[in-house]
Chain A
């Protein structure tokens, strides 16, 4: 390899400086590593972890009842007492977790057949097309998809029109089932992709062996395929569960219902920051617990 010397020869001073800097880094790999990591870890540490810490502190800070301003370092448990004494908060928490679980189960049921078809029946060319077809909508704007569902679900929308011949009215925009449908729709590709990858990894010989030994389709699925799919199901459920758990736009726009996210959003919009901060701890704790469980099921190797 040739090293062009021409233009740099004019800048002897700068060159020697840059030489000195890089040769120092060459001689000190640990220092190089620290320099590489300083920026990214500093950013995530200061901007993100720092913000999470600030949020956590807010939960324990008092609020001036007159001006509504948060008083930093004036410690109190008021926000937690406020949450514990109002049964609405626990109803909302249970409703949110319930819907998030329901969405996860729905997505597993919808994802299994298409993932199975993609992994084991479709020709390689068709498989490629199906993969793109499933992946693309994942990147179409989240808000736009929610908006599209609003137009479908509203009284005079597509669904009402399609159901009219059967004498059924459109659901309107204040049914909790809407949140279940729309959340299942939004996160479905996140479930299809890991299940597809999991099915693709199961060797054909295993299924043939099961058939040779007299296992019928149903039994082969239950005894051979399903146990091997558990890590993939757990991986997919991380997305379907956590994204449903934290959502506040879907319940607001299609179901006129309150989720955990709405409580956080509404309280912060009303200036009740300590309660918003205290309630934020709930989805974080639920999510960390969920991640720990799914990690035991091998989900992290299938992400």
Chain B
């Protein structure tokens, strides 16, 4: 095995003003310009924006998970002094509908399909009055049969949640002949994996404000794709898009949980109807009840191999709980199916996926987007195969991991497959060959797990996927970047500044970023799908390099030198190398002067660029695609755990996470994303679970919905591997989601290593681990639970 490309060490410190900033701007941990305000608490978030004059809006939600609304009695609530208005479906001018893929969700529902459905909107002078009015509302309704589980949804004669029935969508992959290949395989293993419903649990609850300005509904609310949100608000309210403006305030986390519409339409409607500022701030309980969740997915996995451990075929059946509405469900199901064999070479694949409606929370986007549930499934099958074949799991991976140029599940050939580099780096760091199984007490067992995963970047499958960015030189010589891409904490805006700074030879901290305002910034698609580094990164780079080219032309005309002998460096245009008459790479023109000259000569120095790479729709009947995604991320995590075999408690001691990010434009941000993903993945692996019974959520609070604290967080070592992506900016490929995806399978593998049997249901909490141990004891061997 080659030693692979070098692991990046974090460069020392930020670029300070006065240094030559274009040197090493890329690959340097530039300080975040939004960092100080967030650390000191000065930065206002969505809940901090409205003044005391603003009205408070409060949503009337369904009293039951599935019911026809017969009447909403509002007279008593309206009579309360201070209640300004109560809106229902009669008051909305447009379609009264929203939904990212299907417009299947009513703003004001006449038939509620889950507890979060909205029946009306109270607007009052103060939050207290609004609450009192809410308590005075009486809803009469006819209960409908509750479809609580996926089995209920598929049962014959199940009550249809939508006109099209209870199946939202299906997906498949057909490659080779899986049935024959399995019949001829020396070994075949079967596993069934069940993943849970997970909440995004971001700290910054849904909160914002809206007001009317020059006839434009102006909404401050945190989403993930402001231009799509503007489209949805305009459609629902029946307004032209020009009359809707969405501005994103500072945002505390999203993780996919802000992809669906939340408060934007309510705010817009109230401001429009009342011509007065209005605020909304969800409580934590409301935030959990109203928002979509991660899909619980059940995966039946059959994996075949030769005696030597070479994979022959996979047969995969995927069943996904879509909850009450489509949300991004069809795309999540496609991502699950199209990632069902992960980073492994599997010549024969037969996969089927079905997404079904239930009366649970709609499920939609969340970090990992179907790929993380399937990673748990395929890694579980690999662990099972390793046990049956008695081949070490790492050796089994070495036999079967993809190499450069080979095809993933969809048969898309991937030019750069960094997964082996990631795994070997992670194994070296953890000291795999010398790992110790010693424990401080006989009831404790130590275990190690290795995951290897992949993730397609961007929307893919031929869906139009574009980012636009505008870069202009202001008259004062300051570089301005305009992006509609939202930054919910991941650092996109600092990244955009860093790229513009690199292209224009200025200090990244001096770049002015104008962002996330539908009236001022170009559409940059969503901050999701691990896409913004590649998409907005490339758009900024294209725009900035074109402005740079114009500036070089200006300087060339001014100096008489060839533009190709010049470069932008240190707020100036300078000789690229020693030129006669310009020895020692002298500065020929300060930037500000170049801007003035350029303007005089008619240069706009203002460029909008678009990055819109082509992907190819899936082939009918096979689900294959030569280019389902523009690029793939690869990663490998190694987890070390201690399991108490008497109680089932698991303590994660250490996680090493190696990611091929192509190029770490800002290494500290990359490491931060990986570490955050690891902690979120640990929560999914061990503790997080939305518990619902018959459509009623049982744990809609942070007292009962348990996410990891710092005390639960292990030592995390993020290893950044850099194998250039052919198309990413400076070779970068993205980083957002794989940090989560790689974590649950590594931890579950480590638990299996420790206790000799697998836990097939997440979260692997103490009770489930204990039950797996008991089952295995009863079975009398280390057989899989």
A binds B: no
Mark B residues whose CB is within 8 Å of A. Answer: none
Mark A residues whose CB is within 8 Å of B. Answer: none
